Amino acid sequence: MIIVYSIEDLKKELSLIKESIGFVPTMGYLHNGHISLIEKSVKENKKTVCSIFVNPTQFGENEDLEKYPKDIENDINMLKKANCDIVFIPKTSDIYKENKVFVDILGFSDCLCGKKRPGHFKGVLTIVCKLFNIVRPDRAYFGEKDYQQYIIIKKMVKDLNFDIDIRIGDIIREFDGLAMSSRNSYLNEEERKKAVFLYDLLCYAKKNAYMGQKRIELENKIEKYIIEKIDCNIITKDYANIRDGIDLELKEFISENSRLFLAFFVGKIRLIDNGRLL
């Protein structure tokens, strides 16, 4: 496995590759969710590139940029075991030289995390666009846990005419169902136990969903479940929202594309999850 730190060195390495390239962009502090994407890329491409870069432009003023967990040594060891070919670890000063050009999207980012985290997806799209132009992959891999991000990136790729196939990997969960996330490391013991509420809520919603059901009817049941089951001393709802999994729109009736999107604060840590209802 080759580790490169500059754009120039990465481009030199990539110029030697004539086969298909798979790309997995990450912010590091890797877990098995990230590794599942690496493994998927390794199976589907001749070469796999992983970037590790904590992107400052997708963090808001009161978010955890400075505290975001890092463990580069462990990341590298995990990537070696997963047979990643190239790891790209750039400096912020190399990626953002003047901060004058950004990429944004209309419509898809004004709901869910886009509404709750203003400017977040502008930062995400900008860094992904930059990395795509540097790596020039044939396929790029994103996790289902960040489903809104996946949909928005697919839209960017289509509208900006990138010749890249955007692939999605399944949510990888802990033994009790909690979606794996780098932010789980922030949780104390009690918060970690309570965090499984997100998964329990997803399971409840799936059990109570059926084709043609009115969305508002199911959302009312979900809200009642939250009120009855939530530990308000530890968990606070940010949103629990049913939307279409193709265009993120609110639809009147539940269909095969309907998904429940969740965001809750567990202590001070914001966790997200989502899943198909049918």
pLDDT at 218: 98
pLDDT at 64: 77
Could you report the per-residue pLDDT of 188-242, keeping only the tens digit for each?
Answer: 999 999 999 999 999 999 999 999 999 999 999 999 999 999 999 999 999 999 9
Q: How far is the C-alpha of 149 from the C-alpha of 54, rounded, in Å?
A: 16
**In which band, very low, low, confident or very high, does the pLDDT at 74 lie, cut at 50, 70 and 90?**
very high
Radius of gyration of the chain (CA): 19
DSSP structure class, residue 48: E
Could you report the per-residue pLDDT of 140-185, keeping only the tens digit for each?
Answer: 999 999 999 999 999 999 999 999 999 999 999 999 999 999 999 9
Q: Can 34 be counted among the known catalytic residues? A: yes
Contact between residue 172 and residue 199 where contact means Cβ atoms under 8 Å apart: no
Say yes or no to pLDDT of 99 above 90: no
Could you report the per-residue pLDDT of 254-263, keeping only the tens digit for each?
Answer: 999 999 999 9
Q: How far is the C-alpha of 272 from the C-alpha of 218, rounded, in Å?
A: 20
Average pLDDT, the chain: 96
Say yes or no to pLDDT of 98 above 90: no
Identify residue 267 by its one-letter amino acid code: G
Q: Which of 21, 30, 33, 34 is catalytic?
A: 34
pLDDT at 61: 78
- Three-class DSSP labels, 140-175: EEEEHHHHHHHHHHHHHHHHCCCCCEEEEECCCECC
pLDDT at 33: 98
Q: Where do we find the tokens 């666009």?
A: 129
Q: Domain 2-169 - what CATH class?
A: alpha beta
pLDDT at 232: 94
Q: Domain 182-276 - what CATH class?
A: alpha beta
Say yes or no to pLDDT of 108 above 90: no
Q: How far is the C-alpha of 204 from the C-alpha of 139, rounded, in Å?
A: 35
Q: Where are the domains of the chain?
A: 2-169, 182-276
Average pLDDT of the segment spanning 4-17: 96
pLDDT at 67: 85
Average pLDDT of the segment spanning 66-71: 91
Q: Which of 142, 140, 146 is nearest to 169 (CA)?
A: 142
